Structure 1
């Protein structure tokens, strides 16, 4: 599957639009990171499962439930999907469990690392809380005097797996 399919899935699970995700400049880097660590087959299986079993549902509650059941509750795909969310928000790929890597992964790709030099500054975390990343993007003189402005989130059901 393509980077665009990865971004479509990522938009669903992060709550940001595809436009926002492309705007970070990290889509290709994150796609390549996931492929490098879990392998193209595992990522393709995740994306196929998402497109085959989730995207046709229009009701948000049914869609969220199906996403949980089809993707997040799967021991192989769920671990990857959760890490994709963390990758977008923090710019960091977090080490998967040794058991996961031994069973499904690519030996030698273990570890936690920053996906690219720009990943920290482009993490969705900073956009979500309405502030600049400390030490990475100058917010402007005196901006520290006011608390961050946290934007309102749209009302939509949160998949059970994201509430854990």
Structure 2
């Protein structure tokens, strides 16, 4: 991508909006760069830039109106035949750490991409997935809660 730092910022802004997690949390996973690299590797630099540019335009046009931004995002990205499945894959990437092969209908319409298959992005992607804080749990087999914590009832995060 032409300007890596700017594209990473746009990727993080998009990711924060669609996942509902703050930038601080996304950066703290250590997965921002690997996830952006994955998207670029799978769908290409041009398509990635188009998605982020469209999101940046939506942000600018919507200003501080979150409702308008959500509606515009749904209409102009998530409902888009080409960009929608990619955007949804980015959401899944953050939550689960896995890139899922784009749907067959997408591949039929836009072509098969060399690197488009289902795969886990990195060994850390599983433990850093947003799924775990979203459900208030630790990933099984990793990030143990500590000795004796089983003796206390589970604590569930407040739902906003």
Task: Please indicate the TM-score interval, normalised by the length of the shorter structure.
Answer: 0.7 to 0.9
- CA shift, 1:110, in A, is 2.7
1:108 is displaced (CA, Å) by 2.0
Partner of 2:137: 131
Q: Secondary structure at the match of 2:117?
A: coil
Q: Partners of 1:139 and 1:11 in 2: how far apart?
A: 26
TM-score, normalised with respect to structure 2: 0.88
Unaligned runs of 5+ in 1: 155-164
Instruction: Note the C-alpha offset of 1:146.
Output: 4.0
**TM-score, normalisation: structure 1:** 0.86
Q: Work out the CA distance in 1 between the residues paired with 2:24 and 2:111.
A: 30
CA RMSD of aligned residues (A): 1.7
Structure 1 or 2: larger helix share? 2
Q: After TM superposition, give the deviation of residue 48 of structure 1 in Å.
A: 0.6
Equivalent in the alignment of 2:8: 3
**For residue 22 of structure 1, what is the aligned residue in structure 2?**
27
1:24-39 mapped onto 2 (5 Å cutoff): 24-39=29-44
Partners of 2:90 and 2:20 lie apart in 1 by: 13
Mean Cα deviation higher: 77-86 or 97-106: 97-106
Q: Which structure is richer in relative contact order (CA contacts within 8 A, separation 6 or more)?
A: 1
Number of positions where the alignment pairs a residue of Structure 1 with one of Structure 2: 154
Aligned to 2:3: none
Which 4+ runs in 1 deviate beyond 4 A? none
1:140-159 residue pairs with structure 2 within 5 A? 140-154=146-160
